[in-house]
Amino acid sequence: MAHDEKSPPKSGAKKFASGLVPLQRVLLDEADRPIAILSEGKEQQTTVGKVVVRKLMQTAASGSPHALGHAMKAIVAAQQLKQQEIDSDVEFARRYRKHQQDQLKEAVKAGRDPETILPHPDDIEVIEGQGYRIVGPSDADELRTVKSNRAYRDVLLLQVVLEERLAGTSENSSAERLPSTTPLVLAQVLNTMLPVRYRLSDFKILLVLDRHGRMSKRELLKETRQAWQRIRVSPPRGWMMPPWSKIQAKLDVLLPACVNVYAQVKAGKLTSEHQIAARLSRLGNF
């Protein structure tokens, strides 16, 4: 059932009732399942559905297409219903995006914070022939996470310039250190993880680094420390991040452990925020 444009449902929820019965969904899943077959002595990757069509043609040629014909009709009927669902989702997404655009214009006109309009209309991505997806924050909690990651990225870009400025001093020189590698890599990773609308292009990153590079050493030290403090981190003045070789070794251990935590959450073995926070805390103390 479609929803009224004036009162759209929370983004991310299924927007239309399904026209497919469970057995039809299983049938479509099976038809789309990839398999390998031998054809003329060579292995080929295909799908069950394509094999059924091929077998139907072969059976029809031998004069007995009845059973496979029924399977083919069932697949076609299910695909038609699936396409109707996709078309409905695409139409909903267009109306939903228009609704959010109108809400955004009203917010700007009234002097309200435009970031309170969630999801942003530009983050509602219509995918012709497939449906749609939300590619940005859809509620206040997600927006806070995006802003936090953006703030970390921006501080790391300041740290890049600071470390390059300090790299020539004797107390900060190191045979294993490449100046600014660690903050630059982490800034790039965080930038890539952000929704597209919040990312900086490579050219814009260069402009930001150039702007920071025009600061005096005194200004750079002060601004970098204050930027860290704004995100509730308090490194000493002139602090430099560990060399990338040490960070990479730690990540090689932490990333698989984080994947394991995610798997346990998904399997229902870690169910409370307290349990998850405690497990992540132990990882952070590695």
Asked whether the beta carbons of 16 and 2 are under 8 A apart, the reply is: yes
pLDDT at 202: 94
Long-range contacts of 211-220 (CB under 8 A, 24+ apart): 212/157, 212/158, 212/160, 212/161, 213/161, 215/161, 217/165, 220/158, 220/161, 220/162, 220/165
So what's the pLDDT on residue 271?
67
Decide if pLDDT at 171 tops 60.
no
Q: Residue 269 pLDDT more than 50?
A: yes
- Whether residue 10 is predicted with pLDDT greater than 50 in this model: the reply is no
188: left (phi over 0), alpha (psi -120 to 50) or beta: alpha
What pLDDT score does 176 carry?
Answer: 47
> Shortest CA distance to 204 belongs to which of 274, 264, 150?
150
pLDDT in tens, 71-129: 667 677 777 888 888 899 999 999 999 999 999 999 999 999 999 999 999 999 998 88
Q: Confirm whether pTM is higher than 0.75.
A: no
When mean pLDDT is compared across 57-66, 87-96, 202-211, the lowest value belongs to: 57-66
Q: Note whether 179 and 163 are within 8 A (CB).
A: yes
Amino acid 106: pLDDT: 95
Neighbours of 14 (CB within 10 A): 9
pLDDT of 249 strictly over 80: no
